Amino acid sequence: MKISVLQNILAANNQIATQTRLTLAEHLIPAINLISSPGAGKTAILERTLEALQGKTACGIIEGDIATTLDSERLSRFGFPIVQINTEPFGGDCHLSASAIQQALTQLPLNQIQLLFIENVGNLVCPAEFDIGETAKVIVLSLPEGEDKPLKYPLAFREAKVCLLNKMDLQGPLKTNINRILDHIRRVNPNLPVLQISAATGEGLEAWLSWLTKIST
């Protein structure tokens, strides 16, 4: 019984996600769904990315959080249209659903947007399970989270089209074994490209921007 309820929820979600994918395709808008545990650096990466794209690419942003508009406030200085989704009023969902995205899209000027960023709720489990109509899920893993996370949360790494390994500036103090992380990622998804970046220093940003260019064409 439980399984059938879950299947119904996912089936209904996937139907809406398919409609969203068609809407975005009609407007030629690639949608990037950023997923990670809380604090991995999704908003910091977006700050760097939007700064680099200002005046070049018309971006739109959907911000997902259980509560607050703090991340939207951090990103508002770049002047791109932003819609905040807070999940607390409808149950405090730990992920964005396709229907929440469908509603958010009605608030965005789709005819003027070339690239859409969606920051999902910080969580490595549920956001990986839900299709929201995105072009690509991007998994952000940061060094302080530990080298074992790809093995513990494999679905997130299997669903993603690229992994941003963030906070590379902390490798020295944390004594992180990067090869161990890369090996763990390869064990769950041998084909996942991994870009080593630091939102704090800007290291690796060019590779990320060029990945974005490729997915946009």
Ligand X SMILES: Nc1nc2c(ncn2[C@@H]2O[C@H](COP(=O)(O)OP(=O)(O)O)[C@@H](O)[C@H]2O)c(=O)[nH]1
Chain residues in the site for ligand X (CB under 6 A): 36, 38-44, 122, 166-167, 169-170, 198-200
Task: Identify what 60 binds: Mg ion, ligand X, none; CB under 5 to 8 Å per kind.
Answer: none
| 68 or 213: CB nearest ligand X | 68
In the chain, what is the straight-line distance between the N-terminal and C-terminal CA atoms, in Å?
Answer: 44
Task: Identify what 62 binds: Mg ion, ligand X, none; CB under 5 to 8 Å per kind.
Answer: none
| Cβ atoms of 23 and 98 closer than 8 Å | no
Calculate helix-pair angle for 42-53, 205-216, nearest 10 degrees: 70
- Token code pair at residue 111: 């005819």
CA neighbor of 156 nearest in space, from 177, 116, 184, 117: 184
Alpha carbons 178 and 146: distance in angstroms, whole number: 10
What residue ranges bind Mg ion (CB under 5 A)? 42-43, 71
| 40 or 59: CB nearest ligand X | 40
| 16 or 101: CB nearest Mg ion | 101
Residue nearest to Mg ion (CB): 43
Task: Identify what 199 binds: Mg ion, ligand X, none; CB under 5 to 8 Å per kind.
Answer: ligand X
User: Using alpha carbons only, what angle is made at residue 158 by residues 155 and 159, rounded to the nearest 5 degrees?
Assistant: 85
CA neighbor of 65 nearest in space, from 32, 38, 30, 47: 38
Task: Identify what 39 binds: ligand X, Mg ion, none; CB under 5 to 8 Å per kind.
Answer: ligand X
| 42 or 137: CB nearest ligand X | 42
| 16 or 208: CB nearest ligand X | 208
| Cβ atoms of 132 and 118 closer than 8 Å | yes
Closest separation between CB of residue 26 and ligand X, Å? Answer: 30
Closest separation between CB of residue 16 and ligand X, Å? Answer: 25
| 59 or 199: CB nearest ligand X | 199
Closest separation between CB of residue 71 and Mg ion, Å? Answer: 4
Closest separation between CB of residue 143 and ligand X, Å? Answer: 8
Alpha carbons 31 and 173: distance in angstroms, whole number: 35
| Cβ atoms of 82 and 117 closer than 8 Å | no
Closest separation between CB of residue 39 and ligand X, Å? Answer: 4
Alpha carbons 1 and 37: distance in angstroms, whole number: 30
